[in-house]
Amino acid sequence: MYRILLLFLILIPFLFVSVLFTFSNFFDGPYDPYAFFATRMVLIIIAMSFSLYMSFVFGKIIANILNKKCDPEKYLVEYEKCYKPRKGRRIYPAHCLNIFSGLIETSNYGEALNIINSISEQDFEKTPNYILYYHLNAAQSCLVDNRLEKAQFHLDEAKKILAIKRWLSRYNKRIAFVSFDYCSAELLFKHDNVEDSRELLTSLLNGKLDKLIRLHCEFLLALIDIREQKIESAKSALQRIILEGNKLYLVNQAKEELDRL
């Protein structure tokens, strides 16, 4: 659906200007092959630029299904519609990262881990931004199954890239730092350093966050509250996650924690 719409949006201005050029030449004078060629080149450049822009727009619309509406199942369906690989071909490594981001928010942890383990840093040698996202996603996968030393390794690698950060746009920079800080906070929690974990999470919540990461921060803070016997604060956070979490697996985890209190 998205591909058809994108093609339609590209073809309409191309055809319009082509018709306009043809009729203007018909009425104004003889056919000029150089002007014809120059016009077509300008149209091709405009069409390519427009295509890139619309790809970014559609990508953001799909990402918002997960990040703002908290619906990983719909996100995965729409993502596959938009970026479905050709039959028999390997999924492009960058798509593995995006598929992992959806799967990890469902109960299907096994498939999520298989996806992230099917790629490596070498798959992104020519795209340093994706190397950063690979290490952040890999760190997240290691935290899920408690491979803490490996999670620390991936975070250290991500930190080296973030120290350069010249090639990151402002939007991507914010997302990368938020993801890095959240994973660091979770790692601190798993190492029983709840004080530093709380400080990092509180700092994150004071900034601008999408709903998805905000709910994850609140859940981790609720676990810290439970550990420190701040039961009412934990209950309040867990109830809010259940109310706002839509179809995230995090909602089930929040219900389980609430039932234990």
Nearest to 219 by CA among 203, 204, 240: 240
Q: Is the pLDDT of residue 20 over 60?
A: no
Residues whose CB falls within 8 Å of the CB of residue 68, separated by 6 or more in sequence, listed in order: 210, 211, 212
Query: Tell me: the pLDDT tens digits for 209-239?
Result: 999 999 999 999 999 999 999 999 999 999 9
pLDDT of residue 26: 44
Report the mean per-residue pLDDT for the chain.
82
Over residues 64-89, mean pLDDT: 83
Is pLDDT at 45 greater than 60 in this prediction? yes
Q: Rounded to 10 degrees, what is the CA torsion of 139, 175, 160, 218?
A: -50
Give the three-class secondary structure for 62: helix
Buried b / exposed e across 82-107, counting CB within 10 Å, b at 16+? bbeeeeeeeeebbbbbbbbbbbbbbe
Instruction: Write down the H helix ranges in the chain.
Output: 2-28, 33-67, 72-83, 93-103, 109-117, 128-144, 148-164, 170-190, 194-205, 211-227, 231-244, 249-260
Amino acid letter for position 50: F
- For residue 172, pLDDT over 70 is answered with yes
Is the model's pLDDT at 175 over the cut of 80?
Answer: yes
Answer whether residue 113 shows pLDDT above 60. yes
Q: Quick check: pTM over 0.75?
A: yes
Dist CA 217 CA 34 (whole Å): 60
Question: How does residue 1 score in pLDDT terms, banded at 50, 70 and 90?
Answer: very low
Residue 129: what pLDDT? 78
Place of tokens 């803490």: 148
Mean pLDDT within 69-95: 79
CA-CA distance, 119 to 101, in Å (whole number)?
Answer: 14
Let me know if 224 is exposed, middle or buried by CB neighbors in 10 A (0-12, 13-18, 19+). Answer: buried
| Cα within 13 Å of Cα(190), Cβ side | 17
Q: What is the pLDDT of residue 233?
A: 95
CA distance 234 to 217: 12
Give residue 259's pLDDT band: very low, low, confident or very high (50, 70, 90).
very high
pLDDT at position 165 is 67
Q: What is the pLDDT of residue 164?
A: 78
pLDDT of residue 92: 77
Assess whether pLDDT exceeds 80 at residue 43: no
Lowest mean pLDDT of 61-65, 162-166, 180-184, name the range. 162-166
For the stretch 185-201, pLDDT in tens is 999 999 999 999 999 99
- Using the predicted structure, report yes or no on whether residue 166 has a pLDDT greater than 80: no
Render pLDDT for 123-147 as a digit per residue (tens, 0 to 9).
887 777 789 999 999 999 999 999 9
Share of the chain above pLDDT 70, in %: 72
One-letter amino acid for residue 156 of the chain: D
- Where is pLDDT greater, at 51 or 79? 79
Furthest-apart CA atoms within the chain: distance in Å: 86
Q: Which pLDDT does position 27 carry in this prediction?
A: 44
